Amino acid sequence: MPAPEILERVLAIEVGAARIEGALLADPDLGRVWRAQAALTEACRSVGMEDISVQEGDLATRPLRVDPDEGETARGVWLAGETLRILLSPGDLVADPERAVRRCLGAGVRPDGSEGPMPEAEPDLVDAISTAMRDAPGPLIGALRAALTMRTLTLSASPSAERLLFICADHAVRGGRAGRELTDPLPEGLGLTAGPGEPRWVLLPATALSTGGFRVWSPGSPSGLASLLDGMRDEVGRGLGALPTLRRWRDLALASGADRHGRSRMRDLVRLLMSRPIVTGQIVAEELGVTPRGALNLIGEAAEAGLLDELTRRRSYRAWAISPVAGRLRNRTVARGMRGRPGRAAQAGADGEGADLTTDQGEARAPAPRDRSGEEAALAELDAALAAADRLLERYRLR
């Protein structure tokens, strides 16, 4: 892809992402809701890209404390939950890169057919990632540099870990720092709390590659980079488009809370929903200090006011989401098993990566020797194009 085309796409993405970042910084409550729903989608899409069945609805409408051995869907929910931990608390890739890289590798998924343990966060790998990201002229280029460095030095051992590192780098370049790390159990309701460790990321690689069709994660090849940039440009536009909807919901929620009498807890529920876009009766009862019956009554009032929609229709586990998130869950689910996506052989033919390791009968076979000459040439071309982008963006860096 010619350097001018890369520059055009990079600048379009950076400008759109900066508009989102500015809006979310100016309105932290809006930012927490926007990132919570974006994290839900990104976690499921990233796991789904590894051919593991999971939908946003699976993750939002069942308890997140599941056993990965219970079945395919439970495994997908568990892996997506591990991914969510990183998205909701990205850490600090600048101040503590070793821990950030280790967490990404720990939450990464090995591709089907891969053998052996996940790579470790060795000092050489961590140093190379830090060097690649240092002095990046913008979040997108910094994130690309970090992900490509991990991809090259780990021989593409875990594409999902590379995507997580991409997001952690985006968070870091935007000034994000470490805060309270999420540990087991993962908070239900996708709770985000204000503080220095609050996520700052904007760019979502898996969502960009899997909305409106499936595109391969292959940022080290010209075609793969073009697909990623095209998808991100479109996803940034969708992210901007979601802001007015969330603002309307927020204004309706605040007005609804203000109309209640002094003893009503509706205003407290509205404040809770600003950081917990998905709730259960137990969450509301514990957070507001009310009885389970009182929590369900509050939820019912919010649903009647158009603030909440029920996600589940069963007695064993009931969950509600704020209306914009509920609509997103209904409209943006991923087909189970990524049906319609190209097979691994087709992916390999497209970019020379991820060859199919099974026969037609499903039997394992040895992978063909990998010719890295084409990949190295593509990376050299990519380096030259990104260097040109560096020089252009450097002119606009704040001094």
Q: Which pLDDT tens digit goes with each residue over 15-38? A: 999 999 999 999 988 888 899 889
Name the DSSP class of 149.
Answer: H
User: Of the candidates 46, 373, 36, which has an alpha carbon nearest to the alpha carbon of residue 208?
Assistant: 46
Residue 343: pLDDT band by 50, 70, 90 thresholds? very low
Place of tokens 């996708």: 190
Q: Give me the amino acid identity at 387.
A: A
CB 179 within 8 Å of CB 85: no
Looking at residue 57, its pLDDT comes to: 72
Q: Using alpha carbons, list the distances in angstroms from residue 140 to 5, 134, 166, 378.
A: 15, 13, 9, 19
- pLDDT tens digits for range 174-186: 988 765 555 544 4
> Angle 116-85-253 (CA atoms, 0-180°, nearest 5)?
155
> In sequence order, which ranges of 108-174 are alpha helices (DSSP H)?
123-133, 139-153, 159-173
Whether 281 has a pLDDT exceeding 70, the answer reads yes
Going by C-beta distance under 8 Å and a sequence separation of 6 or more, which residues neighbour residue 391? none
The pTM of the full predicted model, rounded to 2 decimals, is: 0.80
- Sheet of strand 308-310: strand arrangement: 278-279, 320-322, 308-310
Residue range 135-140: mean pLDDT, rounded: 89
Task: Quick: pLDDT tens for 323-334.
Answer: 888 877 765 444
Whether the Cβ atoms of residue 189 and residue 285 lie closer than 8 Å to each other:
no
User: Given a cut of 80, is residue 103 above it in pLDDT?
Assistant: yes
Contact indicator for 252, 239 with CB cutoff of 8 Å: no
pLDDT band for position 391 (cuts 50, 70, 90)? low
